[in-house]
Amino acid sequence: MRRIHWQDRVIVDADLHHGDPCIKGTRIPVAMIIGSLADGMSYGQIRQAYPQLSDEDILASLAYAADVLPSYRLASSANQ
């Protein structure tokens, strides 16, 4: 399975949702999508709640988190 390139679907813009990462063309934050998955929602349930999202948008959110979290851990460790 090929990995989604989140850069094609996720945008960080200071004028959009206070600079939080969002899905391009929407005001839907990546954190909301990740949180919904963590709460046990299926892709279908998320798409039903936010019809403008696709499976690729949800996968891009996961890919973004996978890429960002390792650097977050490094920054957190350095601050301790």
- Kindly report, residue by residue over 33-62, the tens digit of the pLDDT: 999 999 999 999 999 999 999 999 999 999
pLDDT bracket for residue 70 (50, 70, 90)? confident
What amino acid occupies position 42? S
Domain boundaries along the sequence of the chain? 6-75
pLDDT: which is higher, 2 or 78: 2
What torsion, rounded to 10 degrees, do the Cα atoms 35, 47, 16, 64 define? 60
Angle between helical axes of 55-78 and 30-38 (0-180°, round to 10): 100
Classify 6-75 by CATH class. Answer: mainly alpha
pLDDT bracket for residue 69 (50, 70, 90)? confident
Q: What's the pLDDT score for residue 15?
A: 86
Mean pLDDT on 6-34: 93
